[in-house]
Amino acid sequence: MFEDFAKKCTPVSYKNHRFNLYGTCDGIMLYTDSDGKQYRIGLEIKSKQTTYSKTSDYSMREADEKHIKQTVAYSYMYRDIDTGAPLDYYLILYVNLSKKNWFQTFKEAPDLKCFGISIDDNDRSQLFDYFTEVLDAVEQRQAPPFEIDTWTFNNFKDATAKYLSDEEVAEVRAYVRRVRASSQPDYIKTQLIDAYEDLIERRNKNGTK
């Protein structure tokens, strides 16, 4: 499978809920072990472009949780056509593209970093549980707690800034302060501070104190 030819919309029936998984996997590889047994292994490629240190052993000890969840969804979507067996193994490959030229290398931050993920039915059930919780929240018109960590990809920034309560904003401010005082990498702290300042700026523009 390759790029646009791999796009899928897969219906799911789970705990009296129905929803669709939509996405495009980067690749599916076939691996044959020494005993001749063949395995289907998914491949997901991610780029890091902000700073070369993104792929250092300090900044990246394991694959991002959101990328793991993405591969869990793909493991169900790209089941074997003949047997219906899911993809139980996945490789998440991070490519560091932040360098000034192709021949520049950093020992502490490799160009490529790869993580092997083993996926089982319990992982898929946990992901589907989350999806059903979202559907239930929509049905009950109950918004989930706001998370400043996902601000960059929030498509409703102005609406979020306008309708957050003062108590919720206070909780966000306290969370950002805790992260600033923690041992988290500087880039995470900077992202959170920038996100919080953007939130407050949009909130002030909306006339919300």
Q: What is the pLDDT of residue 192?
A: 93
Geometric angle at alpha carbon 150, from 145 and 154, rounded to 5°: 95
Q: Judge contact between 27 and 42, C-beta under 8 A.
A: yes
Q: What is the pLDDT of residue 116?
A: 95
Sign of CA dihedral 137, 142, 145, 151: positive
Q: What is the pLDDT of residue 61?
A: 74
Q: What is the pLDDT of residue 188?
A: 86
Output the six-digit token pair for 167: 């108590």
Q: What is the pLDDT of residue 2?
A: 66
Q: What is the pLDDT of residue 31?
A: 93
**H-only helix segments in the chain:** 65-77, 121-139, 157-163, 166-180, 186-205
Q: Which residue has the tokens 């104190």?
A: 209
Q: Judge contact between 28 and 19, C-beta under 8 A.
A: no
Burial class (CB in 10 A: 0-12, 13-18, 19+), 32: exposed
Sign of CA dihedral 85, 4, 114, 194: negative
**182 DSSP assignment:** S
Q: What pLDDT digit, counting tens, does each position of 14-65 carry?
A: 999 999 999 999 989 999 999 999 999 999 998 876 555 565 665 677 888 9
Q: What is the pLDDT of residue 209?
A: 53
Cα–Cα distance between 106 and 142 in angstroms, integer? 48
Question: Which parts of the chain sit beneath pLDDT 50?
Answer: none
Return the beta strands (E) in 15-138 as ranges: 17-23, 27-32, 38-48, 89-96, 112-118
- pTM beyond 0.75, yes or no: no
Q: What is the pLDDT of residue 105?
A: 58
